[in-house]
Amino acid sequence: MKKFVYIVFFLAGIIAFQACSHDETYADKKKKQRSAINQYIADSAVTVISEDQFYAQDSTTDVSKNEFVLFESSGVYMQIVRKGCGKKITSGETATVLVRFTERDLLTDTITLSNQNIYYGQYPDKMRVSCTSGTYSGSFVSGSSLMVNAYGSTAVPTGWLVPFAFVNVGRPVTEDDEIAKVRLIVPAEKGQQSASQTTTPYLYDLTFERGR
C-alpha cells in the first residue's frame, strides 16, 4: 500500500514539474519575442509613437523619422508608408483585396515567405475583407494564396487587419496613383497559425490593392 502511495506521489510530482516546465518555457518564449522586437526597433532606429500622437498627426506616421505607432491593446506596431489611392473599406462592405507581402522572422532575422519577388510577383494573395461597425475580418481565397499554401489556414492574421481602418484600398487610375503600403511588427498572438504555435514575432511589408 505504501509503495502504491509513493508511486502516486511520484507521478503527481512529475506532472506538476512538467506543468511548471511548460509555463517556464512559454514565459521564456515570450521574453525572446519581446527581446527580438526590441532588437529590431533598436537596430532599425525605429521611433515608436503613441496612439494619441498618431491620431494627432491625422493617423499618419513620419517615414523620414521611421515612425511606428504602437497599438497597446494588440501589441501591433504599424508604419504607414503610403495611405493609398481610392477609399477605405467602409462599414457593411466586403471587398476583394490583393496583397503582396514579405514576411521576416524577427527571432532569426530571416525572410520566411514573400510574393514580392520575380517568381511570385504576378500572383498576389487574394483576401476577402469585411467591415462590420468598424471591426474588420478577413479570409484568404484559397488556391492561389501563398499564405494558405504555407500555413494551411484561410484565416487572415489579425495583425494584418489593423491597417484597414487607416488606409485606402483602391486601384491606380492615373500615373500618380499609388496603392497603400504599410509595415507591421506583429506579435505571435496576432500572427499566422505557425507564429502563435511557436511564439514568433514577424515583420511584414505589405501593399493593398482593390481586386475586381
Rank 8-12, 13-17, 73-77, 118-122 by mean pLDDT and report only the highest.
73-77
* pLDDT classification of 25: cutoffs 50, 70, 90: confident
The number of domains in the chain is 1
Q: Does 17 or 206 have the greater pLDDT score? A: 206
**13 in a structural domain:** no
In this prediction the pTM is 0.86
Which H/E stretch holds residue 117?
A: none
**Cell representation of residue 47:** 521611433
| Predicted confidence (pLDDT) per residue in 118-146, tens digit | 766 678 999 999 999 999 999 999 877 99
| Predicted confidence (pLDDT) per residue in 79-127, tens digit | 999 999 999 999 999 999 999 999 999 999 999 999 998 766 678 999 9
Q: What pLDDT was estimated at residue 42?
A: 98
Q: What pLDDT was estimated at residue 20?
A: 45
**16 in a structural domain:** no
The span from the CA of 76 to the CA of 19, in Å, is: 29
**Boundaries of domain holding 72:** 46-210
Q: What is the CATH number of the domain that holds 186?
A: 3.10.50.40
**22 in a structural domain:** no
The separation between CA 199 and the C-alpha centre of its own chain, rounded to angstroms, equals: 13
Mean pLDDT of the 160-174 span: 97
Q: How much of the chain, in percent, has pLDDT values that exceed 70?
A: 87
**170 in a structural domain:** yes
Strand ranges in the chain using DSSP code E only, listed in sequence order = 47-49, 67-71, 76-82, 94-105, 110-114, 125-132, 135-140, 180-186, 202-210
Mean pLDDT of the 142-161 span: 92
Q: Given a cut of 60, is residue 6 above it in pLDDT?
A: no
**50 in a structural domain:** yes
